[in-house]
Amino acid sequence: MQRVVVVGSGDGGTFTANLLASELHDEIRGGLASVQLVGEHLKHPFQPGNLDIAFKGANPEKYVKDETELLREGVDFIQDPAAKIDFGAKSVTTKSGKALGYDFLVIATGAVADPSKVPGLAEGSMNFHTGGKDSQLIWEALQKFEGGTVVVAIAGTPHKCPPSPDEAAFMLDEFFRKRGIREKVKIRFLTPYPRPYPAEKISKVVEPMFQDKGIEVSTFFNVDMVDPKEHKIYSLEGETSDYDLLIAVPPHHGAEVIIDSGIGDQDGYVPTDRGTMQVVGQEGVYCIGDATNIPVSKSGVVAHLQSVVVAHNIVAKIEKSQDLLEYNGRINCPMEVGQHRAIFVSATYTSPPTDQAPSMVKYYMKRTFAMIYWQALNGSLEWIFDMFFGKTRFPLSKPPEPEKQVVMVNTAGGKANA
């Protein structure tokens, strides 16, 4: 029997397990293969919904479903978080002590937003990266806010959803305009980058819009500490910013199981080949999404596209096929900019993001994706994604050539190439 274990039941892990269950359907039914998905939570969140919860007052329950409802027949879901991964023994040990042997392993443990990494940040700020409940606290605070300085700060890189800090600033501006108190509110954007958005072409779109909306920007601002009592943010460069309400993107790091197992880099991310998604030096072991150390966006779309490559290659190896694929670095993430308009930040390893005009069409495309997300996790909508993203994978023996930029596709954050 060929045993496949997927660790992590977020976007990438769930999707990979479903693809494998579909492709290995006959083998699973015949007892020749198994697919086990190891996860911590029964509830599966749609993380991009956190922005709507925080800045539009959406109900958090709208963006959550039971994990078991999202899985295909043939996936054995183990609600028991992984505590140890042992490459040498080819095993995963869960928190309860269950040992799971594997022939193929997919690591999809994500990234952890951790406000405690910056002194005073947890006590002095709010954020939408640690879940729906924390996002709802932002909405509640905004209802009571009558004027003053709201600061959106990037307190660490890389982080999940690179466009989200800029998007938060745009959504705050729109919120206060609708309330009729925008003139009473100063919105400041603190970023460690040299411009409002890390990718230069996208920043050329964002910067004039920030200026037009009166959103102040402080670049090269690396958050050092926060003083919750004095309502001050201090940077490593010696700058200080006052605030009345601080909405921060916390520092991120790899999952606890990666750190505890000693298989990650200094930040807990897994060294991964950027094409095959194979963990460096480990045959039959793959890593996808936010858990990798690959310098591309940490986003659900990236995990989705990498999952297709990994699932295909595992099935090919089980079937003794040489038809292996590589991921081309495609990233794609929408950014709302207000007034029912959005842009899409798009890139691959060989084609950087391009500038573009915000449009209502892109805004509604973003909204549509939120509606089809749950169905997309079972793999039934891949024909739509293939049309939208274009070619995102290629034969292992044939490296990609530089391509023309597609109309829409994502951001990079931190060390990302976008």
Report helix angle 382-389 to 300-318, nearest 10.
Answer: 120
The answer to whether the beta carbons of residues 186 and 151 sit under 8 Å apart is no
- pLDDT for residue 391: 75
Q: What is the Cα gyration radius of the chain?
A: 21
Total H helices, total E strands in the chain:
11, 23
Q: The tokens of 127 are what?
A: 């954020």
Whether 341 contacts 362, CB under 8 Å: yes
Cα–Cα distance for residue pair 418/411, rounded to 1 Å: 5
297 token code pair:
């966006």
Which phi-psi region, left, alpha or beta, contains residue 334 (left: φ > 0; alpha: ψ -120 to 50)? beta
131: tokens are 């879940």
Span(s) in the chain for CATH 3.50.50.60: 2-112+253-324, 113-251
pLDDT, residue 390, reads 73
145 in Cβ contact with 240 (< 8 Å): no
Range list of β-strands (E), 102-184: 104-107, 111-113, 148-154
**Vertex 374, ends 171 and 275: CA angle to 5°?**
85
E strand residue ranges, 2-68? 2-7, 33-39, 43-45, 64-66
- Cα–Cα distances (Å) from 105 to 32, 45, 110, 292, 307, in that order, read 17, 23, 15, 14, 12
CATH of 2-112+253-324, one of 2.40.50.100, 3.90.1150.10, 3.90.1150.170, 3.50.50.60: 3.50.50.60
Q: Which two tokens stand for residue 206?
A: 């964002």
Residue recorded with tokens 């003139």: 183
- SS3 state at 415: coil
- 282 with 139: CB under 8 angstroms? no
pLDDT at position 23 is 96
Q: What is the pTM of this model?
A: 0.92
Class of domain 113-251 as given by CATH: alpha beta
**Which residue in 372, 405, 396 sits closest to 309, CA to CA?**
396
Give the dihedral sign, CA 334/295/413/254: positive
Compute the distance between CA of residue 168 and CA of residue 163 in angstroms, rounded to an integer: 9
Q: Which two tokens stand for residue 257?
A: 């199981």
Please state, in angstroms and as integers, the Cα–Cα distance from residue 320 to each residue in 2, 63, 74, 315, 323, following that order: 12, 40, 21, 8, 9
Q: Note down pLDDT in tens along the chain; length 418 residues.
A: 999 999 999 999 999 999 999 999 999 999 999 999 999 999 999 999 999 999 999 999 999 999 999 999 999 999 999 999 999 999 999 999 999 999 999 999 999 999 999 999 999 999 999 999 999 999 999 999 999 999 999 999 999 999 999 999 999 999 999 999 999 999 999 999 999 999 999 999 999 999 999 999 999 999 999 999 999 999 999 999 999 999 999 999 999 999 999 999 999 999 999 999 999 999 999 999 999 999 999 999 999 999 999 999 999 999 999 999 999 999 988 999 999 999 999 999 999 998 889 999 999 999 988 889 999 999 888 887 887 777 778 888 654 444 433 333 333 333 333 4
CB-CB contact of 341 with 331 (8 Å): no
What is the rounded distance in angstroms from the CA atom of residue 174 to the CA atom of residue 172?
A: 5
Answer whether 401's CB lies under 8 Å from 350's CB: yes
Alpha carbon distance 103, 121 (integer Å): 42
Q: What is the Cα–Cα distance from 369 to 94, expressed in whole angstroms? A: 33
How far is residue 97's CA from residue 93's CA, in Å, rounded to a whole number?
6
Percentages helix, strand, coil for the chain (3-state, rounded to 5) are: 35, 25, 40
Question: Do residues 326 and 316 touch, judged by C-beta distance below 8 A?
Answer: no
**What is d(CA 242, CA 195) in angstroms, rounded to the nearest whole number?**
21
333 three-class SS: strand
